[in-house]
Chains A and B, each alone.
Chain A
């Protein structure tokens, strides 16, 4: 086994900050939705908006990071091995079969993860951000008065935002569970905290070079 530095500093910061913000946005958001009472409606709205701006800023940084480092390539979907990965989760995992996809520095995500995260990045999060911004900013103070954009279907915007939130929570639950499916229960968690993960020994220099040329 080899200690490999797999999650970089910003990546970990981005991940945990995003986790924190999404949990907080869900808490305040579902209070605004009327699902429960905790902060009080007024505070929930205030906090939700502050967290939303925080989230948008974080996304801006994350996008910059993804593009400048080339990490965005991690999310290019692949259908190779997808059946093997599914098989692993449905059968193999119970028999202590090995992971069908090997994690390396250059390919951290298995095909299912690639698809899921890509879906989040290009569908769910953009929907949440755009509907959120519309709902938040269609009215704004200007001069001595308040101006509004005429937004038809405010209710549709709100309902889409709610739908996205439900999907994110379902994702969150499965995510929490699936991180326990590493070599042992805490492997993945530890990796996301320290950045280092013990990866297979036979991952040698040649293989890395091979993969680099494949990616190109």
Chain B
């Protein structure tokens, strides 16, 4: 009896120990506590610009404010003039291609396609005054628009279709006296609205972040960390941290979650080990476009339909423009699951002169696969479009879309692709065969924002599952729970079934014969007697 109890204890005790170990509540990670403490201290400016006499005057031109800024901050303009925010160009090394200068100036996208020729309207989001053509003088410091980023009054605004110049009737003195570190509103003015409306491009950057809840974005949330963009995107000497690979190519200047959170932020080693191949964003941004919709598909070939010779718009019930005569048919979606791709920190870019060799044409293929040591799986918003190209030369085209006046070739006024493409390609200095068609294109927008609370993180089973795995498109790695070898599984199941059937029939025969034998034995015994 004592032995039996001993044996039972030997079984039960280890199980009990295991249960206790698994259920132990671990204390909050101190790293996160420290971060929360760090970012709860808000910046207090050391200077009050409203006390400066030189800002308390009437400014005839916005450039005069810039000159006042430079008169005290004597070298800052040199920093700005080296920045991508100013140059809209960056020297990038591209694999198999060498060093190229690319940026908003010359790169094509699949939203409004090209900046070139359309500077008048696009360049409202340039941090300068009057960048209205490729002849803009990038060496003229007075054209730096300090206020776009440093206005803290909330009253500064750029004029529409004025190449970055501000609205003329602003109270410049008041604005100049209320400058400071950039707030979310400064960044959001352009980065939330690029591509023709709120959340149009990114899907994870939009005006809802101004008043975000923790559900939408734990970092920016008023009830969360209540951070500002520049808390992460630090900009020592105006060198901004963080890059977007719709433009960038190289693994440099990137901003990674690990900067604050380290690569071992979880209590669980297995989860930490995922960080070798999985970017933080992949699990922590389970959905994007959480509040307002983002553009997911844009069909330029549908543009140009007119009612009584006039352009028109159709909006959905949320007010999103789903058809515009000037732009074509647009699909907006929200609460989207990202797509997932390998990314090693480098990207390729399709340039205007490049031949289209594959359809759909990916404008910025992300480099990396399981075997590249730096590559991780990242969440991506894939923007899909149908945009004009040259079927003869097999290149994309850069149409001129915008002009203030009718008859200058701007498609949005004239609705004629022929003149629009001719003007645009001439402006870009590229040949055009005279023919145009429409081609499917894709663009990868890596998602970095709208980080969800940890309770909403992607769960193991969402990837480690046979059906509808989030990582269904990641095919070059064995993922437990998702993958299996069909031969082995079939063999295994067959082995189990056959063993079971074998045992079953053997047992049945034993029982049947057993009864017969019993009868026989009894008979024999009786006979013997």
User: With A13-B7, A141-B269 in contact, is A33–B480 under 8 Å at CB?
Assistant: yes
Of the residues A37, A45, A167, A177, contact of B506 by C-beta under 8 Å: A177
CB distance B262 to A144 under 8 Å? yes
User: With A144-B263, A148-B276, A163-B491 in contact, is A154–B477 under 8 Å at CB?
Assistant: yes
Let me know if B100 is at the binding interface, CB within 8 A.
Answer: no
- Among A89, A139, A144, A148, the one with the most B-chain Cβ atoms within 10 Å of its Cβ is A139
Let me know if A41 is at the binding interface, CB within 8 A.
Answer: yes
Cβ < 8 Å to B, chain A residues 182-205: none
Let me know if B273 is at the binding interface, CB within 8 A.
Answer: yes
Let me know if A209 is at the binding interface, CB within 8 A.
Answer: no
Let me know if B139 is at the binding interface, CB within 8 A.
Answer: no
* Complex contacts, A170 vs chain B, CB 8 Å: 492, 495-496, 498-499
Q: Which residue of B lies closest to A53 (CB)?
A: B18
Let me know if A125 is at the binding interface, CB within 8 A.
Answer: no
Let me know if B52 is at the binding interface, CB within 8 A.
Answer: no
* Complex contacts, A139 vs chain B, CB 8 Å: 273, 276
- Residue-wise, chain B 454-486 has the 8 Å CB interface mask toward A (1 for contact) of 000001110011100000000001101111110
User: With A144-B262, A163-B492 in contact, is A177–B480 under 8 Å at CB?
Assistant: no
User: With A96-B517, A154-B478 in contact, is A166–B461 under 8 Å at CB?
Assistant: no
Bound: A54/B16 CA distance, A: 13
Let me know if B275 is at the binding interface, CB within 8 A.
Answer: yes
Let me know if B35 is at the binding interface, CB within 8 A.
Answer: no
CB distance B513 to A94 under 8 Å? yes
CB distance A41 to B485 under 8 Å? no
> Number of A-B pairs whose CB atoms are under 8 Å?
128
Q: How far apart are A41's CB and chain B's nearest CB, in angstroms?
A: 4
Bound: A154/B496 CA distance, A: 25
* Complex contacts, B493 vs chain A, CB 8 Å: 166
Let me know if B39 is at the binding interface, CB within 8 A.
Answer: no
* Complex contacts, B495 vs chain A, CB 8 Å: 166-167, 170
User: With A13-B10, A141-B269, A174-B499 in contact, is A34–B510 under 8 Å at CB?
Assistant: no
Bound: A162/B461 CA distance, A: 19
- Residue-wise, chain A 138-175 has the 8 Å CB interface mask toward B (1 for contact) of 01110011101000001100110011011101100110
* Complex contacts, B477 vs chain A, CB 8 Å: 154-155
Bound: A94/B507 CA distance, A: 10
Bound: A174/B504 CA distance, A: 10
CB distance A50 to B22 under 8 Å? yes
Q: Is the interface of B mostly helix, strand, loop or mixed?
A: helix
Q: Is the interface of A mostly helix, strand, loop or mixed?
A: helix
Count residues of chain B with CB under 8 A from any CB of chain A: 51
CB distance B509 to A94 under 8 Å? yes
CB distance A42 to B499 under 8 Å? no
User: With A146-B264, A166-B492 in contact, is A158–B478 under 8 Å at CB?
Assistant: yes
Let me know if A93 is at the binding interface, CB within 8 A.
Answer: yes
User: With A12-B7, A33-B481 in contact, is A54–B14 under 8 Å at CB?
Assistant: yes
CB distance B11 to A17 under 8 Å? yes
Of the residues A144, A145, A166, contact of B491 by C-beta under 8 Å: A166
CB distance B492 to A165 under 8 Å? yes
* Complex contacts, B262 vs chain A, CB 8 Å: 144
Let me know if A46 is at the binding interface, CB within 8 A.
Answer: yes
Q: Which residue of A lies closest to B6 (CB)?
A: A9
* Complex contacts, A162 vs chain B, CB 8 Å: 484-485, 488-489, 492
Cβ < 8 Å to B, chain A residues 34-53: 34, 37, 40-42, 45-47, 49-50
Q: How far apart are B475's CB and chain A's nearest CB, in angstroms?
A: 11
Q: Which residue of B lies closest to A166 (CB)?
A: B492
Let me know if A32 is at the binding interface, CB within 8 A.
Answer: yes
CB distance B482 to A177 under 8 Å? no
Q: How far apart are A186's CB and chain B's nearest CB, in angstroms?
A: 15
CB distance B460 to A45 under 8 Å? yes
- Among B21, B465, B477, B488, the one with the most A-chain Cβ atoms within 10 Å of its Cβ is B488
Let me know if A64 is at the binding interface, CB within 8 A.
Answer: no
CB distance B496 to A166 under 8 Å? yes
CB distance B481 to A32 under 8 Å? yes
Bound: A49/B168 CA distance, A: 68
CB distance B500 to A173 under 8 Å? yes
Let me know if A106 is at the binding interface, CB within 8 A.
Answer: no
Bound: A141/B269 CA distance, A: 7
CB distance A141 to B481 under 8 Å? no
Residues of A at under 8 Å CB distance from B? 9, 12-13, 16-17, 20, 32-34, 37, 40-42, 45-47, 49-50, 54, 89, 93-96, 139-141, 144-146, 148, 154-155, 158-159, 162-163, 165-167, 169-170, 173-174, 176-177, 180
Residues of B at under 8 Å CB distance from A? 3, 7, 10-11, 14, 18, 21-22, 262-264, 269-270, 272-273, 275-276, 459-461, 464-466, 477-478, 480-485, 488-489, 491-493, 495-496, 498-500, 502-503, 506-507, 509-510, 513-514, 517, 521
Cross-chain pairs A/B with CB under 8 angstroms, 7 sampled: A16-B11, A145-B263, A146-B275, A154-B478, A163-B492, A166-B496, A177-B503
> A140-B269, A177-B503 given. 20 additional CB < 8 A pairs?
A32-B481, A41-B464, A42-B459, A42-B461, A49-B270, A50-B22, A94-B509, A94-B517, A140-B273, A141-B272, A148-B276, A158-B480, A163-B491, A165-B492, A166-B493, A169-B492, A170-B492, A173-B496, A173-B499, A176-B503
The 9 closest A-B pairs by CB, nearest first: A166-B492, A155-B478, A94-B513, A177-B503, A139-B273, A41-B460, A170-B499, A41-B461, A34-B481
